[in-house]
Each structure stands twice: as C-alpha cells, then as structure tokens.
C-alpha cells in the first residue's frame, strides 16, 4: 500500500512538473493573441495624422469631444452585436468583486447612450458628440478583422429631423476627401431599416411574433458581400455549412420568401431614382416601409441640392449588423478602378437609432450617427497610395567618447541646452564604440550627431556631423583617404554656436 501510494505521488509529481514545463514553454513564446497587433512608431504617426484630420472636420460641423471608459456594465452595453444571443458572448467580460458583470466596450455608441441618459438634463438638444478610441470584439479573428480596433464616431442626439441624417452623410464624405480620397475612390451605400421591415411584412413575417426570424434574415442579407447570393439563400433557408465544418442555422424561410428577398437585394444595380421607384412598388402595402422610402427620397434630395448626390448609392442589400438601428442605415466602401469594383470593403458606417437611449429613461430619444474605422481607413489610404510610411525625424544624438564623471556631466549639460531650445536630443547611454554609435544614430534617423572628445572639451568646441548630407555626399566620394581628409558634412563650431548650427540643419530637413 505504501509503495503504491509512493508511486502515485511520484506519478503526480511528474505530471505536475510536465505541466509546469509545458506552461513555461508556452509562456516563453513572444507572441500576441489572435486578433491583436502592436502599433509601431510609424503606425502611431499615421494614426495621429488620421485622427487629427477627422477631428478637424467633425469640429467644423459643430461636434464636441467626449471620452467614455473602455469598460462598462455588461447590461448597459446591451445585446446588440450580430449573431449573438447571450450578453457576454461577443464581448470580453468578467465579474468584479460585487459579482456584477463588466465588459470591454464593443463600440462607441452604447457608451454614448448611457452618458446621454445620465446627463440628459444638462446637455444641449440636439447634442452633437464625437468620440474616438479602441473597441473590442470577442469574435473569430481573420485577415483584416481584429478583436481590438480603433473607431472615430460622431452622433447627433435628440432629433427626428431627417436633415441630421443627410448632414452625417455629408460629413462622412468631407472627412474622407480631406483624408486624401477622391470622390470616385469611395461610395456611401444607403438604405433604411423601415424599408427592410416593410419587405418582411410583404413576405408575411410578423415583426412582433417572428422578430428573431426577421433578425436572422437581416443578418443573412448582411453576408451578401461575403458569401454571395447563393450563400445568402442558404442562410435565409435551413442554414449554411462552411468549409471548416461549422454550421450556421438559417431563418427557415420558404422558397417564395427567399426569392422575394433575393429579387429585392438585386435592385441596387439601378439608378437611385429607379431604385426608389422600385421600393415604392415593393412596400406599397406597408405603411412603415413607405415611410422609410420617403425618408430615403428626402435624404437623396438634400444631398443632391448640396452637391453630394454622386457620392451616394441607394443599395437594398445594406442592413448593418448591429441590432439597434431603426431608420437610415449606411455603409462606406472603398472603390477602385473605372468599373468601381469593391476592393477593401467597408471603412465605416452608421445610421439612425431610436431605442438605445430610451432603455435608460422614459420617452423616445432618437439619434443618428457615423462610425469610421480608423484602422481600415489607414489600410485603405495605403491601398490608394495616399499615405506614406516615412518615419519621424529622430533626435540629435550626442556621441559619448569619454565615460568619466566630468565628461558625462558635460554631455548632460549639452543635451539639456538642446532640449531647452526645443530640440529633440539624447545622449548615447550604451557602451559601444564610436562606429557602433554612428550606426545607432543612423538607425534612430538622427538628423545629426554631436561629437566632443577631451580636446574639443578643452577648447569648448564640438564637431557636428550632418548624417543626411553625409549620406548624400558618400555617393560622390569613392576614395577612403579623400573621405577622411575632407570629412564631408562635418563642421567644428564653438559650443556657443552649437544651437544655431543645429537649428540650421534641422530647418532644411
């Protein structure tokens, strides 16, 4: 018995050690979770440029900034993500010490609804708000589909005026064109949720009794770009089996209903005026559907009068996956080529919502808004060659030739002097020789380096080497002896002239 117990203990100990070693081996791998990415200095610089331009346009339209936390109560965010029927499925959630569920925000609209409801009495009406920040989706990662991504939103809250919807579309267009896109680089595809509701009425779906079936049908239509008509037909019927073996349950509509929907979403090939005429015919027996068509028609007229009509395409296949939309809905797609073939896909979207804020306070508070995917826009601008990857000019580097306390103190006084004159600078803090320090300065994209040895310190002089000019001249001088004698792009000046000379070098970069 003792031997058996000892063997079990040894076996358990080995298993624990094996598991521990496996854990150590796994955690020692320097890798990111799927769907997340690091942001390099170039990425951050491009992001900053994009955000500043978007902010400038939003503020020109009278919007003001708001920032909300990354984390909200799960029930405050609500169950509005597509293809989800559990509050913490699709979002990253956890319980706090009070056993209450908290979640990382999955968009910037749900937190806005909470903020407006809590501060409704003190806010101007209508309230124009813009927000930007990271949002998180706990979903399957794919190429170009991240679980953390940057959005920039703008919303007009507490207005039923259709002019607000048109203005949101205008602002989206102005923003994209200020980012460097031309009017034929993108298209704003619009539809109306009321028209879609009217379509469901015409095929016999009761919005009250068969709401979930209707949502499933909407989500099927939303997959048109991804799966094509054949895939949509499967999702409208029994369901679709993908290549991985996963089965997505369908809306269980009959063949007549499916054909009616497929015919409807094919109307987008017509002109805007013709599509509106077709809409009127299809939903003529649905008051709600007719209301939606009239709203689309009015928005089109407003956009035409203000010169934006050619940026807009009425498209019956636009659904928007988020559940809270109730009126105008739109997607912004990047186009490429004479035939306007879709390439990257959606770089933004939005629409009108009427019940999101009303979850928190009595009365119907309607709003309309826009969400731009900053990460997608950066990809789009790269695709259109509108964004360069040139890095920011690096700091002036002070080369360290002596390591005694007196010399190091003098180097620090020099770098402090540079910083006091608003010149980005650093003292080399490594232990490498001069050659390695020069390589370091090049890698840091330093405009110039400052060199001071014991002789220069005694004479209160410094050698300043212009790295960019030196690189250019290196192509004209092939002989090493001549290079050493001429020391191109390097001058020696008194310490009192150091700031002036470096400013001269920086001015021509």
Residues 397-407 have pLDDT tens digits of 999 999 999 99
Q: Average of pLDDT values for 283-306?
A: 95
Cis peptide before 209 (omega within 30 of 0): no
Domains of the chain, first to last: 41-383 (3.30.930.10), 396-507 (3.40.50.800)
**Centroid of chain to Cα 506:** 33
- pLDDT-based confidence at residue 242 (cuts at 50, 70, 90): confident
CA distance 214 to 196: 10
Report, as an integer, the average pLDDT of 474-502: 71
Quick check: 72 and 335 in contact, CB under 8 A? no
Q: Which distant-in-sequence residues (6+ apart) come within 8 Å of 227 by Cβ? A: 234, 235, 240
Give the predicted TM-score (pTM) of the model: 0.83
Task: With CA atoms as reference, report the closest residue to 491 among 457, 454, 448, 459.
Answer: 448
d(CA 103, CA 88) in angstroms, rounded, equals: 7
For residue 164, name the pLDDT band (cuts at 50, 70, 90): very high
The pLDDT of residue 509 is above 70: no
- Once rounded to an integer, what is the mean pLDDT over residues 320-331? 87
Distance CA 447, CA 290 (A): 64
What pLDDT, on a 0 to 100 scale, did the predictor assign at position 82? Answer: 54
Q: Locate tokens 């989800």: which residue?
A: 84
pLDDT of res. 210: 85
- Say what the pLDDT of residue 385 is: 81
Report whether pLDDT(438) > 50. Answer: yes
C-alpha dihedral over 436, 437, 443, 447, to 10 degrees? -140
Which of the 8 DSSP states describes residue 484? H
Structure tokens at 421: 């004159």
**Mean pLDDT confidence for 419-423:** 97
Query: CB of 299 within 8 A of CB of 190?
Result: yes
Whole-number percent of the chain with pLDDT over 90: 61
DSSP 320: -
Which segments of 364-466 are extended strands (E)?
367-373, 396-400, 425-427, 448-452, 461-466
Mean pLDDT, residues 134-140 taken together: 88
What is residue 85's predicted lDDT score, i.e. its pLDDT? 40
Q: Is 197 in a helix, a strand, or coil?
A: helix
Q: Which of 351, 472, 352, 454 is nearest to 408 (CA)?
A: 454
* Average pLDDT estimate for 147-165: 96
Lowest mean pLDDT among 64-78, 89-103, 316-330, 459-473: 459-473
Q: Which residue has the tokens 């679980």?
A: 147
Contact between 65 and 130 (Cβ < 8 Å) = yes
CA 72 – CA 133 distance, rounded (Å)? 14
At 246 the pLDDT is 84
Share the mean pLDDT of the chain.
87
Q: Taking 60 as the threshold, does the pLDDT of residue 62 lie above it?
A: yes
Decide which of 151 and 345 is more confident. Answer: 151
pLDDT digits (tens, 9 = 90+) for 327-358: 999 999 988 654 445 456 689 999 999 989 98
* Residues 290/296, Cβ–Cβ less than 8 Å: no
Asked whether residue 66 carries a pLDDT value surpassing 90, the answer given is: yes
Tokens linked to 256: 């007549």
What distance in Å separates the CA atoms of residue 314 and residue 298, rounded to the nearest whole number? 12
Biggest CA pair distance of the chain: 95
pLDDT band at 139 (very low <50, low <70, confident <90, very high): confident
pLDDT-derived band at 387 (thresholds 50, 70, 90) equals confident
CA–CA gap between residue 490 and residue 464 (Å, rounded): 6
Reduce the DSSP state of residue 153 to 3 states and report it: strand
pLDDT at position 375 is 87
Closest CA to 323 of 372, 276, 359, 281: 359
pLDDT of residue 116: 97
Q: Is the pLDDT of residue 198 over 50?
A: yes
Using DSSP's 3-state secondary structure scheme, residue 479 falls into: coil
pLDDT for res 374:
94
């Amino acid at each position: 018995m003792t031997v058996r117990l000892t063997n079990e203990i040894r076996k358990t100990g080995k298993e624990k050690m094996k598991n521990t070693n496996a854990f150590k081996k796994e955690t020692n791998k320097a890798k990111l979770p799927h769907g997340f990415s690091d942001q390099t200095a170039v990425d951050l610089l491009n992001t900053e440029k994009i955000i500043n331009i978007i902010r400038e346009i939003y503020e020109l339209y009278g919007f003001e900034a708001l920032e909300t936390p990354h984390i909200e109560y799960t029930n405050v965010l609500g169950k509005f993500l597509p293809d989800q029927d559990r509050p913490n499925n699709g979002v990253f959630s956890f319980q706090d010490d009070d056993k209450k569920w908290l979640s990382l925000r999955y968009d910037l609209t749900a937190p806005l609804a909470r903020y407006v409801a809590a501060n409704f009495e003190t806010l101007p009406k209508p309230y124009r708000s813009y927000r930007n920040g990271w949002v998180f989706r706990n979903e399957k990662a794919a190429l170009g589909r991240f679980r953390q991504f940057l959005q920039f939103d703008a919303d007009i809250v507490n207005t039923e005026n259709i002019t607000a919807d048109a203005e949101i579309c205008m602002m989206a267009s102005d923003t994209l064109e200020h980012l460097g896109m031309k009017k034929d680089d993108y298209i704003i595809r619009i539809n109306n949720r009321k028209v879609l509701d009217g379509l469901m009425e015409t095929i016999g779906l009761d919005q009250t009794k068969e709401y979930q079936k209707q949502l499933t049908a909407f989500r099927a239509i939303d997959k048109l770009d991804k799966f094509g008509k054949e895939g949509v037909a499967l999702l409208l019927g029994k369901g679709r089996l993908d290549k991985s073996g996963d089965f997505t349950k369908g809306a269980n509509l009959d063949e007549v209903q499916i054909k009616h929907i497929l015919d409807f979403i094919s109307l987008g090939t017509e002109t805007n005026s013709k599509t509106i005429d077709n809409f009127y015919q299809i939903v003529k027996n649905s008051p709600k559907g007719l209301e939606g068509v009239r709203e689309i028609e009015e928005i089109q007229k407003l956009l035409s009068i203000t010169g934006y009509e050619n940026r807009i395409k009425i498209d019956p296949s636009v659904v928007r996956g988020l559940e809270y939309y109730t009126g105008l809905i739109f997607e912004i797609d990047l186009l490429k080529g004479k035939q306007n073939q879709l390439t990257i896909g959606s770089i933004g979207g939005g629409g009108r919502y009427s019940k999101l804020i009303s979850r928190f306070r009595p009365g119907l508070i309607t709003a309309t808004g826009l969400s731009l995917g900053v990460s997608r826009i950066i990809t789009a601008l790269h695709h259109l060659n509108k964004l360069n990857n040139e890095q920011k000019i690096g700091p002036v580097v002070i080369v360290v030739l002596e390591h005694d306390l007196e010399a190091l103190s003098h180097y620090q006084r020099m770098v402090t002097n540079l910083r006091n004159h608003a010149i980005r600078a650093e003292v080399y803090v490594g232990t490498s020789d001069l050659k390695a320090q020069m390589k370091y300065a090049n890698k840091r994209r330093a405009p110039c380096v400052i060199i001071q040895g014991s002789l220069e310190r005694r004479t209160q002089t410094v050698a300043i080497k212009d790295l960019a000019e030196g690189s250019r001249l290196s192509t004209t001088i092939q002989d090493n002896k001549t290079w050493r004698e001429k020391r191109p792009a390097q001058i020696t000046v008194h310490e009192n002239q150091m700031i002036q000379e470096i400013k001269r070098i920086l001015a021509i970069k």
